[in-house]
Amino acid sequence: MLNKYNSYVGRSLLGRKIMWTLGTIFLYMIGRYLPIATIPLNQSLTSQSAMSDLINNLALVTGGQFSNLTLFSLGLSPWMTSMIIWRFLTLFKWVKVRTKRQEHFYQMWLMLAVALIQAFGISALGNYYYLPDLGPNSQGLLRLASMVILVAGAYVLMWIGQLNAQKGLGSSTVIIITNIIISFLLNTGSYFQDVTLFSGMWWISILLMMVASSFLVLVTVIVYRAEYRIPLKRIMLTHTYSEESYIPIRLTPAGGLPFMYAMTLMSLPPIVFRGLLQIFPENGPLRFLADNSNLTELSGILIYIAVLFFLAIGFAYFNLDPTEVAKQLQKSGDYIEHVRPGEATRVYIARYLKYLALIGALYTALVGGLPILLVWKQSGEVGLALIVNNIYIVTTLLLGLVEQVDIIRSWKRYGNLL
């Protein structure tokens, strides 16, 4: 009877979370296609830009889209960018705050600043309606209104993601997964429109795409699950089970986070600089920055690889803090054999994390940067190479989602004490 009850509770909890996640995806889909009626509906913001495909690919990992002006065009980019900046700022003592409320307050203001900058950049690419009733400044007023709506949409999307983190599965990552999959299907459909159905080229293209994608997914799964295990002695377990206890450190401790945040950061300069060029079209240094800060140039590609490398190291230490692990072990009485508790344990764990973080950073930079360099050298069109990054991101996010589902399902295996 108790097992039936636990099984029902486990299924019920998982079912509620799945339904909430589906509702999150539904709300996101509405906002993704809800246009801002300040520009013509059929107008593409990046259609006249040589790097339109690149900008749109960079926006995928934030749940945004820069091709059309919609409620969720900015996606989670302002929130993700502000989190990176905030993590950097907290390294300085004068930025550190005392309470969680104060920290949240400053983060929201930082997000507002980033959202305004991004909204200013993307709104500069649109041609707005001219409304005689508003006078000669009508287009400027419509652009300002568009910026306000874009910023509001970014906050709404962040709020939806946080609600899903509390009541659903995958937190904000389901938004990113949904956006990448939808865009991949749309782009694939557009590609095969130019190929005669069931022709030899059609079958070859399908086969190559399936083989390449499957191979990349397989490698990603293997590397993601690879880990180094530090044996751990637990005083509350018997000798048989204590031998199975360990501290796991992944081969890639940062996972897919470096790709997501690096692409988010790289999408900001092209949009902002091109927005400023609308105001200062003859500014030479500004045009130089606009032309050399994106992934269509070698300088931008090298910057992207460097950002990937350093973010991979940073997120490795963020996901596994040796100081916090050592404190928890000391409090519980657990220990690593032949290593003294406290500072010695912290140093021991940090040494292994340092090596694995470096290996993970090199692997991340190689996977993210090598395809872009190869494609850029051949044709200069790097949008196709970013598909490798997107497949890696989706695979790691889905693996994290599967792990969360497994944890929920495991709850029904244990009965109540009373």
For every one of its 418 residues, what pLDDT tens digit does the chain have, with 9 covering 90 and above?
A: 445 544 444 567 788 888 999 999 999 999 988 888 888 766 666 554 445 556 666 777 788 887 778 889 888 888 988 888 887 777 666 666 667 788 888 889 999 998 998 888 888 777 787 777 777 777 888 888 889 999 999 999 999 999 998 888 888 889 888 888 887 777 666 656 655 555 566 677 678 778 878 888 898 889 888 888 888 877 665 555 555 678 888 888 888 888 888 888 887 777 777 777 777 777 788 888 777 777 778 888 888 899 999 989 988 888 888 888 888 888 888 888 888 888 888 898 999 899 999 999 999 999 888 888 888 777 666 666 777 788 888 888 888 888 888 877 776 555 554 4
Spacing of C-alpha 175 from chain mean position: 10
For residue 35, give the amino acid letter. P
d(CA 319, CA 147): 35
Q: What residues contact residue 52 under an 8 Å CB cut-off, 6+ apart?
A: 44, 46, 67
Contacts of 186 (CB under 8 A, 6+ apart): none
Rounded to an integer, what distance in angstroms lies between the CA atom of residue 9 and that of residue 414? 11
* CA gap 292, 283 in Å, rounded: 15
Its pTM stands at 0.79
In the structure encoding, which two tokens stand for residue 25, read together?
A: 């995806």
C-alpha 139/C-alpha 117 separation (Å) is 19
State the residue for tokens 């990046």.
46
Token couple for 229? 């295990």
- For the segment 239-251, what is each residue's pLDDT rounded down to a tens digit? 555 556 788 888 8
Beta-strand ranges (E) seen in 137-184 are none
Structure tokens at 348: 């021991």
- Exposed/middle/buried for residue 58 (C-beta within 10 Å: 0-12, 13-18, 19+): buried
How large is the C-alpha radius of gyration of the chain?
A: 24
- Return the structure tokens found at 101: 């409320």
In which element (H, E) is residue 246 found?
strand 246-250
Give backbone dihedrals phi and psi of 210, rounded to 5 degrees, phi first.
-70, -45
What are the residue boundaries of the structural domains of the chain, listed by start?
9-194
List the structure tokens of 73: 């065009």
Q: Which CATH number fits domain 9-194: 1.10.3370.10, 1.10.1200.30, 3.40.50.1000, 2.70.180.20?
A: 1.10.3370.10
Q: State in Å, rounded, how far the first CA of the chain is from the last one.
A: 14
Specify the residue for token string 């054999």. Answer: 337
* Helix locations, 198-297, DSSP H: 200-225, 239-242, 257-277, 284-292
SS3 of residue 395 by DSSP: helix
**Residues 117, 228: Cα–Cα separation, whole Å:** 42
- CB of 70 within 8 A of CB of 36? yes
